[in-house]
Structure formats: C-alpha cells, structure tokens
Amino acid sequence: MATDDVVTVDRGPRQVARSAVVDADAAELFDQLADPRRHGDLDGSGTVLGAVSSPDRLGLGDKFTVSMRMYGFPYRITSRVTAFEEGRLIEWRHPFGHRWRWEFEPEAATGGTAAPEAGAGTASPRTRVTEVFDYSSAGLAKMLELTGFPAKNGEGITSTLSMLQSRYR
C-alpha cells in the first residue's frame, strides 16, 4: 500500500500525527468515524475488531466499548468522547489517559468538467484527514515510549490513512 501521500504532522511532544488528503466529502468520512461500529473497518493497524457496546452515533461525552486484539491477545476497551464538532472533529480518551483525535478539513475540490447548460462544472470533494495519537496526558507516557507504542501507533495511523485514500481513489 503506497504511503507517499501520508505526511507526518508536528503537534509537539508526545503526539503522533499523520495527515492525508482523501477524495471524499468530509461529512461522509466523519459519519463513518462517528459510528463506533465502523471503527474496525477504518483501522489499518489490525487491532480494532468491532464495537461491543455503543450508541449508533457518537456525541460529546458518550462512552463506547470496542473489542481489540494486540499481540494475539483479545481485550475490550471503553473510551469517552472528549471533543466533538459535527463534521470536523472527534476525539476520545482511553482509560489510561491517551487520546485519539480525528480532524476533517474540506479542501478545494478538483477535477470535473464544465456543463455548458448549467454553466458550472462538477468537482470531486476532497478532505484533509488528520489522525493524532496524543499521549501527552497519559499516566503511563514513559512506559508507552519504552515499549515503542508511539512508533507502532504512527505506523498504524499511516496504514489507516493510506487505506482510506485507496478506498476513495
């Protein structure tokens, strides 16, 4: 899977962020992430299996539980939505204090052809998607670093964004 279009974003210490432009509408992409039952479909790391308990659509303060698998071991994790802006931003906090944040920023549309009778062209929507693993507030931040989680999560984020780009090409 090509990762040339996924770029590293500097968000400061103890934050791992990657960004990519996806040829899809921001609202459509946001809707997928706002449904925890779809998280397994979006995850490129292979650790998220599916929602165990969640609302149909996330909102600020909501809790949701997902089934996970890491290093061959299954487990469940319950997170709480800590930031939410419809169509633009969603973030949740893991019980150990780290946060996962997704940002959706519409980009200028490209392509399309002019329709003489309408006097306008059609263009493909594009969205800059940024995913952030923020462990700056995690109680076990040093342990996460010693065990290589920031680098591993960076690889997972890159894979997720690459997969998302491929889905909409």
126-161: per-residue pLDDT in tens? 999 999 999 999 999 999 999 999 999 999 999 999
Looking at residue 61, its pLDDT comes to: 98
**What is the average pLDDT score of the chain?**
90
Beta carbons of 18 and 6 less than 8 angstroms apart: yes
Element containing residue 104 per DSSP (H, E) = strand 99-110
pLDDT for position 108: 81
CA distance 71 to 69: 7
Q: What is the pLDDT of residues 66-78, one digit of tens each?
A: 999 999 999 999 9
pLDDT at 4: 60
Between strands 99-110 and 124-134, the pairing is: antiparallel
Q: How confident is the model at residue 124 (pLDDT cuts 50, 70, 90)?
A: confident
Q: Distance between alpha carbon 94 and the CA centroid of its chain, in Å? A: 15
Alpha carbons 9 and 23: distance in angstroms, whole number: 20
- Domains of the chain in start order, with CATH, are 7-110+125-167 (3.30.530.20)
